[in-house]
Structure 1
Amino acid sequence: MDQQAVEIKNKKVTAPTPQNTPINAAPISSQSIPTVPSISEEIETISTPGVAGQNNSGLMSMLQGRLGNLISEPLPASVQRRINGLKFLQSKHAELEGEFQKEVLALEKKYLELYRPLYTKRAEVITGKYEPTEEEVALGAKVDEEEDQSDLEDDKENDVTESTDDNVSGIPEFWLTALKTHPQIGETITDEDCNVLKHLVDIRLSYLEKPGFQIEFEFTENDYFTNKVLTKTYYYQDNVSGGDYVYDHAEGCDINWKEGKDLTVTIETKKQRHKGTNKTRVVKRTVPAESFFNFFNPPVLPDDSEELDEDEAEGLDAKLEADYEMGEEFKEKIIPHAVDYFTGKALEYEDYDDEDDFDE
């Protein structure tokens, strides 16, 4: 199916980037350099609540009236000429923005390779393959001490309790705890999902040769599926539009569920009686179920032959946007700052109080 750029109807003031992030701006995100991507080719600027005059209907009416008069009056030829000159300058600015985004993407790829040894060692600590040295533990405690003395005291109390159990290997349920701590991702995790996510031992990021990225989820052997690794891949259009990479589509992977263990569906049974013979039979059918693992079966755009009404289109837009945002949350927050989500410290830097920031 020919994929197209997605125009999201529920737009924010600015295009989502790893720095302002699709859900909330947060200091634990990447540095202040804007990077990929924008969700749609045309992101509209929308007034935000709290802007001065937003709730003053009289002032807004006056401003709109003046704007209407300006638009309806033809501009002098000399002014229009200068505006065209400004448009030329803006086009050159957009070209530079495109080069900027390409260089930023190259920089992100470079630093991912520098981060990778740290992520590898993190995975070894989590799985019990590596035990931190006394020096590493002391330096880690010092980081907490510099950030918050009260947190250090809490950690010391926890250290005393945990040190009494020498049979614990690594950090049990590390990724399950981190994911459940994240408000948006945690809402997608059911009780049954937890039984599988206990076996999640690593989440990794890699960039594609073409613009885009892939997230890998590594599992130990479990009772639900045979895959060792599940993947989710996000693609951007090759061209840079308006200074940003444009999100194109996402692809999941096939999960090889064991018999009767598919968490993304439920089995409904119904008895049917034949009118002529009066015999009964049991009919089973599968219906979709809420599950974190629906993440690996992303929504797709219909082909040109399918027509959607307005409600269906808006619903699809919301699903596409939510799926994209979830991928960005993994890429920009969960993977780089996993320990902060495990401990809950990440929530201190996030403004998750506004429920309007989340898609239903």
Structure 2
Amino acid sequence: MDSSAININKKDQDDSAPTPQNTPIFTAPIGSNSSENANISQMLGNPALTNLIQGRLDNLAGASSGYIQTLPKTVQRRLAALQFLQSKHTELEAKFHQEILDIEKKYALLYKPLFDKRHNIISGKEEAAEDDIKAGEAIIKELDGDDELDSDEKQEQEKESSTDVLDSDESEIKGIDSFWLTALYNHPQTREMITERDSKALESLVDVSISYLESGPGFQINFDFRENPYFSNNVLTKTYYYQQSSTSGEMVFGHSEGCKIEWKPEMDLTMTVETKKQRHKTTNKTRVIKKAVPAESFFNLFEDIPVPEDSDDSEEAEEARERLEADYELGEELKEKINLSRSAKESDPPQCKQQ
């Protein structure tokens, strides 16, 4: 299996996105005790040790230690039977993880009406129902601990709220401005990716949704934009492909594909221009040299990251592996935590296209 593949098991009790460091392995050894499990968990929590062990195991794959051949024939036959049982277990694990993905797709259909209505309210295509507003206000009060306020404070807040509504001319306000920019900025993992320049472009983001792939296991994140001064695409996409481990049956990340952004002239947010003055040695005249250099940007998300060969241990390859791991983690985080709109069946999911 590709060394860049990352386990996407979602059964972890932790609230963080699955990574090689925090994703538990479902297949527990039969007869293990709690102290052994604790020691194993502690070792697996060490990324360097985990990578070292995985590398050693990869090198041993298919190799014979010669030990089994020294055992009595009757014992070898029993071990062969155990190998068969393990293969049947792996088959069941593969079905188990496929069914998890199928359940995600099933519930995507159930989520769709809710997300469609949410999109219409955010975009201003329709107004929220009065019953939904009242039910939501009750939930907000409960979450904010509003019941702890005394009656006088409640009356004062209600009075101020009603006055604000009466004094404000809100008839021209449609939808919820910059909703998705705010949602992305409120998540710690995406917040650190958004620069001040990015925020201007992300104000034009009108929807973020997920399409499950029909061609194979995986999903695509779709970012829908209205017309803006930065790029001509109206949809930017990032696609994550799963592959099923032949040894454990688990779904792991295989690779991802980004999207070419059609930047308008001098509006590329992933590049910045460095200006330097250069003095001529003989004439002593100065000239200004401008050079485009890569810049930090949320929109680097849509750049393809090359997958290095397993045998490549160069510094560039290690950097690429770190970027791939962060990319896979971000994709899973967006899918699970940002509460994106979902589409269960997309034989032809949205493509990165121009306005």
Q: What TM-score, normalized to structure 2? A: 0.70
User: 2:211 is paired with a residue of what secondary structure?
Assistant: strand
Q: Are 1:190 and 2:195 matched, yes or no?
A: yes
Whole-angstrom CA distance in 2 between matches of 1:153 and 1:222: 46
Change over 3 Å in CA distance of 1:116–1:44 after alignment to 2 = closer
Q: How many residues align?
A: 294
Change over 3 Å in CA distance of 1:189–1:94 after alignment to 2 = same
Q: Are 1:5 and 2:2 matched, yes or no?
A: yes
Change over 3 Å in CA distance of 1:273–1:288 after alignment to 2 = same
Q: Are 1:25 and 2:15 matched, yes or no?
A: yes
CA contact (8 A) 1:5 1:249 kept: no
Of 213, 222, 228, the match for 1:216? 222
CA contact (8 A) 2:115 2:341 kept: no
User: Who wins on radius of gyration, i.e. which is larger?
Assistant: 2
Whole-angstrom CA distance in 2 between matches of 1:248 and 1:52: 29
Whole-angstrom CA distance in 1 between matches of 2:249 and 2:147: 43
Counterpart in 1 of 2:81? 85
Q: Which amino acid aligns with 1:172?
A: D
CA contact (8 A) 1:18 1:328 kept: no
Of 101, 110, 121, the match for 1:105? 101
Q: Are 1:254 and 2:260 matched, yes or no?
A: yes
Whole-angstrom CA distance in 1 between matches of 2:313 and 2:301: 23
The runs of 5 or more residues in structure 2 that have no matched partner are 28-36, 44-64, 343-355
User: 2:304 is paired with a residue of what secondary structure?
Assistant: coil
Whole-angstrom CA distance in 1 between matches of 2:90 and 2:20: 14
Q: Which amino acid aligns with 1:300?
A: P
Q: Are 1:323 and 2:327 matched, yes or no?
A: yes
Whole-angstrom CA distance in 2 between matches of 1:153 and 1:314: 53
User: 1:171 is paired with a residue of what secondary structure?
Assistant: coil
Whole-angstrom CA distance in 2 between matches of 1:179 and 1:251: 21
CA contact (8 A) 1:98 1:241 kept: no
Of 334, 343, 346, the match for 2:338? 334
Of 1, 4, 16, the match for 2:8? 16
Q: What TM-score, normalized to structure 1? A: 0.69
Report percent identity of matched pairs.
48
Counterpart in 1 of 2:271? 265
CA apart distance, 1:307: 4.7
Map Cα deviations across residues 146-203 of structure 1 (whole Å, 9 max, x no partner).
x63616889x969938744514321122111111111111111111111111111100
CA apart distance, 1:256: 1.4
Whole-angstrom CA distance in 1 between matches of 2:148 and 2:131: 19
Change over 3 Å in CA distance of 1:275–1:294 after alignment to 2 = same
User: 1:129 is paired with a residue of what secondary structure?
Assistant: coil
CA contact (8 A) 2:222 2:236 kept: yes
Counterpart in 1 of 2:236? 230
User: 1:243 is paired with a residue of what secondary structure?
Assistant: coil
CA contact (8 A) 1:38 1:244 kept: no
CA apart distance, 1:106: 2.1
Q: Which amino acid aligns with 2:183?
A: A
Q: Which amino acid aligns with 2:84?
A: F
Change over 3 Å in CA distance of 1:231–1:7 after alignment to 2 = closer
User: 2:210 is paired with a residue of what secondary structure?
Assistant: strand
Correspondences of 1:1-360 after superposition (within 5 Å): 5-7=2-4, 15-20=7-12, 24-25=14-15, 51=38, 77=72, 81-144=77-140, 148=143, 150=145, 160=161, 163=165, 164=168, 166=170, 167-209=172-214, 210-237=216-243, 241-275=247-281, 280-302=286-308, 307-309=312-314, 311-336=315-340
User: 2:145 is paired with a residue of what secondary structure?
Assistant: helix
CA apart distance, 1:38: 8.1
Map Cα deviations across residues 42-94 of structure 1 (whole Å, 9 max, x no partner).
x899xxxx957969xxxxxxxxxxxxxxx999885455554443332121011
User: 2:117 is paired with a residue of what secondary structure?
Assistant: helix
User: 1:228 is paired with a residue of what secondary structure?
Assistant: strand
Whole-angstrom CA distance in 1 between matches of 2:77 and 2:19: 33
The runs of 5 or more residues in structure 1 that have no matched partner are 30-35, 56-70, 339-360
CA apart distance, 1:96: 0.9
CA contact (8 A) 1:176 1:198 kept: yes
Change over 3 Å in CA distance of 1:76–1:302 after alignment to 2 = closer
CA contact (8 A) 2:112 2:341 kept: no
Whole-angstrom CA distance in 2 between matches of 1:227 and 1:120: 22
Question: After alignment, is 326-335 or 71-80 more displaced?
Answer: 71-80
Map Cα deviations across residues 189-241 of structure 1 (whole Å, 9 max, x no partner).
11111111111110010011221111111112222112111111111237765
Q: Which amino acid aligns with 1:93?
A: H
Q: Which amino acid aligns with 1:126?
A: I
Change over 3 Å in CA distance of 1:181–1:72 after alignment to 2 = farther
CA contact (8 A) 2:270 2:296 kept: yes
CA apart distance, 1:324: 0.6
